[in-house]
Amino acid sequence: MSIVKLARPEIQAMRAYEAAIQVDDTVRLNANESPQISPIGNFRRPLNRYPEVRPQELQKGLAARFGCAAEQLLVTRGSSEAIDLLIRTFCEAGRDSIVTPTPSFSMYWHYARIQGAAVIEVPTLVDNDFIIDMDAVLAACTENSRLVFVCSPNNPTGAPLPRADVVRLLEGRDKRSAVVVDEAYVEFGDQESVIDLINDYPNLLVLRTLSKALGFAGARCGAVAGSVDIINLLSAVQSPYALATPVVECVEDALQTEQLALADQAVENIINERQRLMTAVSAYDFVHQVWPSEANFFLARFADAEAVMQRCEENNVLLRHFGGDLADCIRITVGSPSDNDQLLRALDTLVGS
């Protein structure tokens, strides 16, 4: 059964923006476009014309890449826009809530607060390896919990959520909540995407991005996959012409077979470097713990995280220190071999200090 009725009533009543029709080889005098073609850029589509309201070929290419039907996917400006669309679609300000384990990706909180939705946090503990207690997540949900966000592998801990736990969450919330699985880092781990489950669970939505494994963070392109009726609802909320022509063509090119092969090799290289770097960092006596990771980063616990951050900055290496419950932890992104060697040289200067 569809979860469309969980969406805000005014969103359910919306209709998608009806843009001026676009037909090749016609004189287009219906969209107030300029007849002057810009000489800037070498693109297949002229920039004086609006892009497609929804880029159909790109949608098909991403659906093939991620493993779903084209009509089950909406292309977004990074997966961050998908998070924003979901919260605006499902959460009524001052009434509804989202539920998410913590620590996790901060943009879930960010967009919920913009919308005026409550955030119900389910803490995971550093001393318990940040394991998500699914009983606690389900118990935290209320009648007005419209969305449950889980990041797998999780950011910043790097741990995947077992498929069995995803299924348990989907079945536990059934028609009462949409479950959003953020798979921004799934290509770097051993666990398969859960996107195949969207055919069996109408309350599942999966977020994907091109920022990490494909190395296209600057293109700001991602996607949300789910049941057709929910994708149509999200499309009605999304701004028309959301993806700029240069971005569409850039990503279309990135999805070509030879480019995907290069991206797959880059992922393999990062996985190998991840193991090398984690092993090296674990060897320092001022490192108390390095957690396993299935992402392109890992989390480490230091005796003095602030001293590490300062010394690395002095050596032109930037890391991520979150503070709060992670005050003694630092997230380290896996870079190129030379980048990683520069980090290790910076850490070497702390030996014996």
Taking 3-state DSSP, the helix, strand and coil percentages for the chain, each rounded to the nearest 5, stand at 40, 15, 40
Distance CA 243, CA 78 (A): 10
pTM of the model: 0.94
pLDDT digits (tens, 9 = 90+) for 60-101: 999 999 999 999 999 999 999 999 999 999 999 999 999 999
CA dihedral angle for residue 235, residue 236, residue 241, residue 244, rounded to 10 degrees: -30
pLDDT tens-place values along the chain, 353 residues long? 688 999 999 999 988 878 878 888 888 877 777 788 878 878 898 888 899 999 999 999 999 999 999 999 999 999 999 999 999 999 999 999 999 999 999 999 999 999 999 999 999 988 889 999 999 999 999 999 999 999 999 999 999 999 999 999 999 999 999 999 999 999 999 999 999 999 999 999 999 999 999 999 999 999 999 999 999 999 999 999 999 999 999 999 999 999 999 999 999 999 999 999 999 999 999 999 999 999 999 999 999 999 999 999 999 999 999 888 898 999 999 999 999 999 999 999 999 77
Domains with residue ranges and CATH for the chain: 4-255 (3.40.640.10), 259-348 (3.90.1150.10)
Assigned token pair, 283: 């060897």
- Residue 92: HSE in the Cβ half-sphere, 13 Å Cα cutoff: 10
Phi and psi angles of residue 234, each rounded to the nearest 5 degrees, phi first: -65, -35
| C-alpha of 224 from chain center | 9
Max CA separation in the chain (angstroms) = 74
pLDDT digits (tens, 9 = 90+) for 332-351: 999 999 999 999 999 999 99
289 CB-contact burial (10 Å; exposed 0-12 / middle 13-18 / buried 19+): middle
CB of 294 closer than 8 Å to CB of 158: yes
The radius of gyration of the chain from alpha carbons, rounded to an integer in Å, stands at 22
pLDDT digits (tens, 9 = 90+) for 216-244: 999 999 999 999 999 999 999 999 999 99
